[in-house]
Structure 1
């Protein structure tokens, strides 16, 4: 169910995958550094190699692993640099940690930050600079009196409207020339929607803009700048933001779910500084050692000044002090936060089509680990947990040792629906359930939270939930396992015929809150009125962001229908069919089983996994719809109208779908808000 609710608002097919390109933030942190002298940590190369060998020999890891490479450093010494698996199934060539290159995706941003900080060290850029200084007269659409600064870009705090990679960002055709970084930047420059410096939204555009500023100030193309000033001085001879023929021949192959090798692709723009870097773990070990120790590079100069290394190793933004967000270049993602065992960790993860990576550092201990591999499995999470438990056993705790939970009435200010700043389809509903306790439901499942500080709570597994307030004390954001903040949405206006205790209010109000219901709130909602075939297609295709089709549909009765384009699109995609004799019957009420078929087809077309399995379905479903109805039941895409009697599930397949039932389906396609 999780995959469904996280992806249904994406575009079809490849676009649904591309939205995750360059996306992953850092993945671990701790609140208070411990004294390095008291920590065991990795020390002996043979012991570290033995630990890694045992980890990658685990049956669960072997099932996930394809080609993997990992490096561990401490105080400038490489304790391990080792490959596992084969780089290409056809050749059987084993992974060589000094030769096999991997796409490291958003770990690239660390190096974009390094490039910017080098120019800060030289006095050519100031962290306080208004970014308009570098935009050749372009004026940022910013309604706030506070400008976007270089510091804001580095900390993902620009306040920009989201600009993420789309289906054009991955280029398979070798004859296509990706646009330049400058052209890509100004093609769709985002407006500022939130006051700069106050909120955290993981921002690929900000890092592309940083690279553009590096180009403007240095007079060198970004790729050439990083080669000359970062990779060459550190001896990183197998690392680049450009996929040269030499490196392409050493790139680990990647495969689709059927085991077919994917073609090698390039990224757009040409430089793609937010996620195009490729590297070996041997090279990444060189970087980690230089960054952690401040040792000079081959040219005798340090990579960065001590002040810049400190800035990149210190959290610059935090929703609450115990729950930090970002340094310059690294982040503190929430979904592994309870596994740092009380250690101070900075990290950067990355995912791109066919590859995943994770870089994490313990600056106090001068320890660094980097793992990269050619699958999308969560091997990195497993390694992080195993590594921390093995070398730094302990427990992460949040809040003061003695904290008195606040009364329910005080916690009610936290209640409401929150929408992720980067992906509005990621929703979470919070409500106070008792003294010091909250309940949350939505895209991340259903959880109970215990208060450990005024605005900090932990779930059943110890993961933190934190809230942010504005200067007036009004709750504005929360952060849970999502990478970015989620904004608190205004309460729904409601409808005069939908009281708070209405059995479908829990679906209709949230749907109105997230603006998927745009009907006039001053008029009755008429929850029992039926939904026409045309209206159903219009609403569901809009919700899925399905692009319109120009292909005409052969139905005489849709020519004057306001849903003509929606019907044409649905038929062209094979989602819906006519009613016979050149008719579609757009105004006829859609049956519940018809809706189930369309939803199932749309989910499958969107590459959303549809769980198999049979339920004990009551008689009354037509044979052509049984499979789809079973799918909808398995996904729990229904409201309280579905009944179980005598062990059989009555879906009401041949009944017309009404508005309140459709509201339940639409909300559950976004998130299981309760």
Structure 2
């Protein structure tokens, strides 16, 4: 164990194994472990209807169980994306609590899919689990985990941060790196816990890992269940949805070895936990830089420690290709790749642009640009995200291109088709002008025309330009907006989709 870099740039305080980090979604396993302690005591059951404990939630067609919340199979939309749809665009500064989250979840009239029929990562489920733990135990999650987990294990510098005003000794400050290389403080005003919000140190987390292999808090039966993936209603796992979710943990393989893992990403913090249970090897990485390659670095460490143990001696194709040398490219040749590309299945849009003579990819209009380095004339590698990725520009019959993006297993490949520039007039855009309301998020969207562009204002604030994807479908960088027409072909409503919050309906006033 060792610290690298600075915990605080204002005072040049170095990172050590005693530095306290926010570990974001790596916190989720402590929420499910708390659930399992209550299950062991017979106070709750995994197949209980959640409305038994959270009656504020709507009475849907099919019941949602505690088990559904744990495995991301509830169909409940992600709460943070719902708040983004409400116009909360600065999560670092916006003030949110678990109570505020429950209020918006109780307004959701429909689910994205029937419970147990699909799988979609959702922080909402873990906030609901937190509410259940607190109501059943009579203790706040911070108090419950301190009393029954952290104190017995000697994790003296670990807690759920449910009050942002509390002073935490030796805590790291979160940072993001701008494209020009400068660092900015990136922190949050959240009081939300359960889906994240755990503060801990490498020294403390080492005690938790020891408890996984040699339980003194909990028992082997609990930990065996915690690493058992959930099943869908048809008896299959959720691999087809890109998730093999156990209890706040993901189960999979790396180079032929079983791995247990979970990552965390929130404001200026990145974390990753990677276990190889057969070898009792745990690799824990905590960082206070948003751009850190957490997964890539963790896997490189595994490559060193387990180099003689991997059944698959070759690296996975993507990781192998990401290590290939780059080649020189001519900017004039790169120009043909510039444009917008759309993955309709996942609702993701990539903008390809040239900056400083190199191709860059911008995902869903992020402020962060991923540099693409050429390894062949039409094939590029990116090392700037959570995973290494290969971008291959494949020619189409009409002289255009599509992007096939290759990611490490279990993510596979994604196809992005180029968006053509649609010609549209003010007369066409006038059909969409007006005010629309969603009672699921209690929010107004107003559309108007400005400079020959359709512009959207959320609750009359900060108009943003929309990009026409195809007839009646627009994109604003984060939302995919599909307008609906009645039998007279008049626009009456629209549906807005984000990655983890799909199908939110707005009706024209």
Provide TM-score, normalisation by structure 2.
0.61
Q: Secondary structure at the match of 1:84?
A: coil
The alignment status of 1:127 with 2:41, answered yes or no, reads no
Is the Cα contact below 8 Å between 2:77 and 2:122 reproduced in 1? no
Provide TM-score, normalisation by structure 1.
0.47
The equivalent of 2:61 in structure 1 is 143
The alignment status of 1:82 with 2:2, answered yes or no, reads yes
The equivalent of 2:280 in structure 1 is 366
Shift of 1:142: 2.2
Shift of 1:201: 0.7
**Counterparts of residues 402-417 of structure 1 (less than 5 Å):** none
Is the Cα contact below 8 Å between 2:54 and 2:131 reproduced in 1? no
Q: Secondary structure at the match of 1:345?
A: strand
- Measured in 2, the distance between the counterparts of 1:396 and 1:266 equals 45
- Measured in 2, the distance between the counterparts of 1:533 and 1:223 equals 55
The equivalent of 1:285 in structure 2 is 206
Is the Cα contact below 8 Å between 2:46 and 2:66 reproduced in 1? yes
**Counterparts of residues 423-434 of structure 1 (less than 5 Å):** 424-425=347-348
Is the Cα contact below 8 Å between 1:153 and 1:206 reproduced in 2? yes
The equivalent of 2:293 in structure 1 is 379
Q: Which runs of 5+ in 1 are unaligned?
A: 1-80, 297-301, 398-416, 428-442, 449-458, 466-478, 487-505, 512-526, 577-589, 593-598, 607-669
Shift of 1:292: 2.0
Task: Select the residue among 31, 34, 37 that pairs with 1:112.
Answer: 31
Is the Cα contact below 8 Å between 1:143 and 1:192 reproduced in 2? no
The equivalent of 1:152 in structure 2 is 68
Aligned length: 375
Q: Which runs of 5+ in 2 are unaligned?
A: 232-236, 314-342, 351-388, 395-403, 469-473, 479-498, 500-509
Bigger drift between 124-133 and 347-356 goes to 124-133
Q: Secondary structure at the match of 2:290?
A: coil
- Measured in 1, the distance between the counterparts of 2:461 and 2:77 equals 34
Structure 2 vs 1, CA of residues 389 and 363 (structure 1 numbering), >3 Å: closer, same or farther? same
The equivalent of 1:245 in structure 2 is 166
The equivalent of 1:184 in structure 2 is 101
- Measured in 2, the distance between the counterparts of 1:360 and 1:568 equals 40
- Measured in 1, the distance between the counterparts of 2:457 and 2:67 equals 48
Is the Cα contact below 8 Å between 2:95 and 2:189 reproduced in 1? no
The equivalent of 2:226 in structure 1 is 312
More strand by share: 2
Task: Select the residue among 243, 247, 266 that pairs with 2:189.
Answer: 266
Cα-Cα RMSD = 4.8
Shift of 1:565: 7.3
Shift of 1:127: 1.1
Greater RCO (Cα-Cα under 8 Å, separation 6 or more) = 1
**1:116-146, CA deviations, whole angstroms, 9 ceiling, x for partnerless residues?**
111111111111112121124x4634224xx
More helix by share: 1
- Measured in 2, the distance between the counterparts of 1:568 and 1:177 equals 18
- Measured in 1, the distance between the counterparts of 2:458 and 2:101 equals 33
Task: Select the residue among 419, 434, 453 that pairs with 2:345.
Answer: 419
Is the Cα contact below 8 Å between 1:102 and 1:279 reproduced in 2? yes
Task: Select the residue among 118, 129, 146 that pairs with 1:199.
Answer: 118
Is the Cα contact below 8 Å between 2:227 and 2:251 reproduced in 1? no
Task: Select the residue among 528, 532, 535 that pairs with 2:425.
Answer: 532
- Measured in 1, the distance between the counterparts of 2:412 and 2:13 equals 41
> Highest Rg: 1 or 2?
1
Shift of 1:224: 1.6
**Counterparts of residues 508-523 of structure 1 (less than 5 Å):** none
- Measured in 2, the distance between the counterparts of 1:200 and 1:256 equals 33
The alignment status of 1:101 with 2:20, answered yes or no, reads yes
- Measured in 2, the distance between the counterparts of 1:245 and 1:255 equals 23
The equivalent of 1:615 in structure 2 is none
Q: Secondary structure at the match of 1:356?
A: strand
Is the Cα contact below 8 Å between 1:345 and 1:361 reproduced in 2? yes
Structure 2 vs 1, CA of residues 327 and 84 (structure 1 numbering), >3 Å: closer, same or farther? same
Is the Cα contact below 8 Å between 1:313 and 1:346 reproduced in 2? yes
**Counterparts of residues 536-575 of structure 1 (less than 5 Å):** none
Task: Select the residue among 120, 131, 135 that pairs with 1:216.
Answer: 135
- Measured in 2, the distance between the counterparts of 1:374 and 1:461 equals 28
